[in-house]
A and B are shown apart, each in its own frame.
Chain A
Amino acid sequence: MSSNIKQASILYNTLKSEFTSPNPDLKKCGDYLAKLKIALSEMQLLLPEGEINNSDELLVARDILEIGAYWSVRAKDIPSFERYIAQLNTYYTDYSSLLPPSQSMYPLTGLNLLRLLSQNRIAEFHTALENIEPEQLLENIYIKHPVHLEQYLMEGSYNKVWNSRNEVPAPEYLFYIDILMGTIRSEIASCSEKAYSCLPLADAATLLFFKNNTNELLSFARERGWNVSEAEKKIHFTTKDDDHIEIPSDNIIKQALNYARELEQIV
């Protein structure tokens, strides 16, 4: 057992030094992490249960998992990030009385919020928000960022979302924000289809955040099936609601039959 711990701590130190170095080798870190996770599960620290007295071991385990979470963001591995966060939750909530508060707790929580946002899992996003103390919600820079992003998204201030890219609290946030940008672009596109009858190409490019790059815009327009007229330099949106309201006969028949059946039961 003790040799296990010793081995693990050596490995942990190498991982830490590699990861904090200016140019970490992500592949190497991944290997270390895999080995460390095996060691952790042997010591039953991967998903600890019940009373654990040795807070030092818990602390090391938490550090390892935190590095793991950061590593997954840099390696652009979202499922792995999700797993690390789930494992860290035990440490952040159930063992919070045993351990000193972690420096990375709020950055990682914020990252997790951003991940939920970028995957459009809004319900889970809000459930996760409830777990955070209200004081942190508006004051902690790591938490504030995703919270504001969500508000901007809901009200439609896409401009602010775009600008928030420059105000990220940590470089890791960029990864998810870039994913988010794709979502936003298609949101804006679907809004524009409804809101405009036609739009000059140059304006469309600024609206959709294509920085005067007409080619990108044109291919994007082709993807969405927009009608681009080169001569006018305009995009025409075809309005699809050619107001002929159909009578939903199927539905009405079903409803009427249902009423009849219920009435029969009553009488």
Chain B
Amino acid sequence: MAKKKPEGYLSAKEARRISKSNRKITNVLEKKRKRKNVPESEYLTTMHDPNNCVEFDNLHTYFFTDAGTVKSVDGVTFEVPIGKTVGVVGESGCGKSVTSLSLMQLLQRPQGQIVEGEIRLNLGDKAYDVAKMPYEKLQDLRGNFVSMIFQEPMTALNPVFRIGDQLREVLELHNTENRSKEEIDARIIELLEMVGIANANGVSQMFPHELSGGMRQRVMIAMALACRPRIIIADEPTTALDVTIQAQILDLLRELKDKINSSIMFITHDLGVIAEMADYVVVMYAGRIVEKGTAEDIFYHPAHPYTIGLMASKPVVGKQVDKLYSIPGKVPNPINMPNYCYFKDRCEMCVGPCDGAYPEEISISETHKVSCYRYYEGVKEGGEDR
């Protein structure tokens, strides 16, 4: 008797076929992006709302792997208003980081590709669609308009260069103001002082290993702010830090955001940090947005069962519970997504129509949107409330 094949098993032949067809798709996309001298008109666009800094519109980012296509980001739409902080929450693997990497165009190429949708970036006098820009133009965007604070300050700094030299590299690369060498040196010290490093002159001569975790994260922030970007993507900037240092860094980010008047896209899985930092919150699950709204909407009136579960599963200081709620089951396989609501198998509040197609987004208040059948008109509450 033939041995039973485990779930998700691929024969070598099948895998070869997939990788061949993947290559066909990615080659076409890559070729398009690698063209030189693309006229600006091709990626010029207009913002739907001029008060927004970034608008993600139906973004689809897929990874073409040998095991199949992973739809990491599958139709994400949200906007980041100028001068505001948008928090993106979700479990690991839900597509938070891929969304931000799509904006930075730092996806793992050629497997990772934006296949559909627009990312409109407001440059002040004009707007670009980042999803259509050729690679050669992106360098002008990164750093100057979009910059990123990475998750691990320990690994994001180069261990063999001094702090000052690493900052200098950023400033020289994006030297739009034609600064002289002395001016750049002065700017390095100014940046380090801005992020609250006391001994700026000394620190600029140090190597990353000589600094503590909090100090390294400050350097990372200084680097991200070096060219006064319009939007800062903070990808779990405090996850690797202690609470006391986390408090320092959060204070600093808030203060600096107001100082240079830019927007922050704050990615984290810590709901406490989001509550403190964000004006708007986006909750993601398995590559899609399940709920979005203002921080008050999300924290005081969570609507989607996933958001409710997420809130209940986090222990809160000063709130005694006997047993923590835990969301049953696990995230569906990203290669083989079901055609009904992705959360249905883990949901305890299912209603009749949940067996149908993935629910469309529905507004339950002016700012609050949710993708769940429970809020459709005419649907009777079927599940019990916890």
Whether A associates with B in a native complex is: no
Residue positions of A touching B, CB distance < 8 A? none
